[in-house]
Amino acid sequence: MIDEVLAQLAQLKSTESVALASLVESSGSIPMSDRAKMLVDGGGQVTGTIGGGCLEAEIVTVGRDVLDSGSPQMTHYTMTESQAGEHGLNCGGTVAIYTERISANAAGREIFAAVCAARSLRLATVVVTQLNSGTQARRWLLREDGQTVGPGLGSDHLDARARQEAAPMFGRELARLVDVEERGALFLEPFSPPPVLYVFGGGHVGAQICRAASAIGFLVTVVDDRPMFADAARHPEATDCRVEEMDCVFDRLTVDGQTYIVAATRGHEHDEIIVEQAIRTPARYVGMLGSERKKLILWKRIVERGGDADRLATVSAPIGLNLGADTPEEIAVSVVAELIQSRRGATRRIWKTKEDPMRSTPL
């Protein structure tokens, strides 16, 4: 859903304004993504979600107020498990949601358009929003190639702090709220290009991995040296299917820090070739189907040919979470669960408050 929110923000017309609600902090068990965002337009139409139920209804009302006044609001909302059940939610927890007005002629729209442009170029970005008292937030975009969009945060000190905090966040998933004392807080949101998954091997397991990974947003390319197994009709969910010889395939593939590689070919010798090439790339994740015995044999041979033992140690093999999977469908679930684990890479943020259970206040 975040893609829909970004696209709408980037394409605001000259006369349009929307209220953008963003989850900036949470604790406990909450009924939404850590990256929850929602837009509310002047007619009350909603794009995205901030969690559903009574919380979402509250934020729609806040959004209308923000559109009318132009002043941002921070909403603190706590829901007990009992309250959650009454309203059809499965969780209890506490959240802080920042709601602001975004207009087509404002810097916010320019920043989000630049996020979309960077994603199309497969560049990771971090959007830094200064949440300070009583004024519209300042927003600045940092790109992993060093370029920036926007005038900055108003001081060299804050700009330097933003760069420092953003440096380890490129290509990651979780946002952070950083206290900057008398200057309020900096909300840092990483936006990465869509993850690419290369599945080497278009057999039964490879097909199911393709299907499951596509459903959660991976751009999947199935690669096989047999035309019938690298066929779009066999893999309708795939972004691409490629017939390639395995020994030099990486010369023709684009691999970056948001690339995941799964070796699920029909034989050990092909998997060995794929892994040996994959560990020379900046791929975020490399995994191989098979047994622990198979891994030990192949790793020994790869190292003897000069392969990087430290990089080999990062390869997931046998691939997948240990779920006791047996069928191709079950194996695919275990593999894709591990891809999610690698992609998210962290636990929920912790946020503590002594505020009232539910309130909306101007910053």
Q: Does some domain include residue 349?
A: no
Q: Tell me which of 193, 212, 240 is where a domain ends.
A: 193
Tell me what pLDDT residue 64 has.
93
Nearest Cα to 5, choosing from 51, 36, 33, 28?
Answer: 36
More confident residue, 244 or 109: 244
Quick: pLDDT tens for 286-302: 999 989 999 999 999 99
Say whether both 74 and 133 belong to one domain.
no
Say whether both 36 and 149 belong to one domain.
no
Among 92-106, 150-164, 196-210, name the one with the lowest average pLDDT. 92-106
Single-letter code of the amino acid located at 233: A
Q: Cα-Cα-Cα-Cα dihedral of 123, 340, 265, 318, to 10°? A: 130
Q: Does some domain include residue 315?
A: yes
- With 90 as the cut, is the pLDDT of residue 172 above it? no
Say whether both 25 and 150 belong to one domain.
no
Say whether both 74 and 54 belong to one domain.
yes
CB-based contact 99:62 (threshold 8 Å): yes
More confident residue, 349 or 142: 142
pTM recorded for the entire structure: 0.78
Q: Does some domain include residue 293?
A: yes
More confident residue, 132 or 100: 100
Percentage of residues of the chain with pLDDT beyond 70: 88
Say whether both 238 and 274 belong to one domain.
yes
Q: Cα-Cα-Cα-Cα dihedral of 137, 118, 33, 41, to 10°? A: 60
Q: Give the chain as a 3 state SS string.
A: CHHHHHHHHHCCCCCCEEEEEEEEEEEECCCCCCCCEEEECCCCCEEEECCCHHHHHHHHHHHHHHHHHCCCEEEEEEECHHHHHHCCCCCCEEEEEEEEEEECCCHHHHHHHHHHHHHHCCCCEEEEEEECCCCCCEEEEEECCCCEECCCCCCHHHHHHHHHHHHHHCCCCCCEEEECHHHCEEEEEEECCCCEEEEECCCHHHHHHHHHHHHCCCEEEEEECCHHHCCCCCCCCCCEEEECCHHHHHHHCCCCCCEEEEECCCCHHHHHHHHHHHCCCCCCEEEECCCHHHHHHHHHHHHHCCCCHHHHCCCECCCCCCCCCCCHHHHHHHHHHHHHHHHHCCCCCCCCCCCCCEEEEEC
Say whether both 232 and 338 belong to one domain.
yes
- With 90 as the cut, is the pLDDT of residue 141 above it? yes
Q: Does some domain include residue 359?
A: no
Averaged pLDDT, 238-266: 94
Say whether both 121 and 200 belong to one domain.
no
Please state the domain count of the chain. Answer: 3
Say whether both 211 and 248 belong to one domain.
yes
CATH of the domain at 267: 3.40.50.720
Q: Does some domain include residue 351?
A: no
Among 21-25, 35-39, 172-176, name the one with the lowest average pLDDT. 172-176
Q: Does some domain include residue 280?
A: yes
Say whether both 77 and 132 belong to one domain.
no
Say whether both 77 and 122 belong to one domain.
no
Confidence of residue 262 (pLDDT cuts 50, 70, 90): very high
The domain of 188 spans 116-193
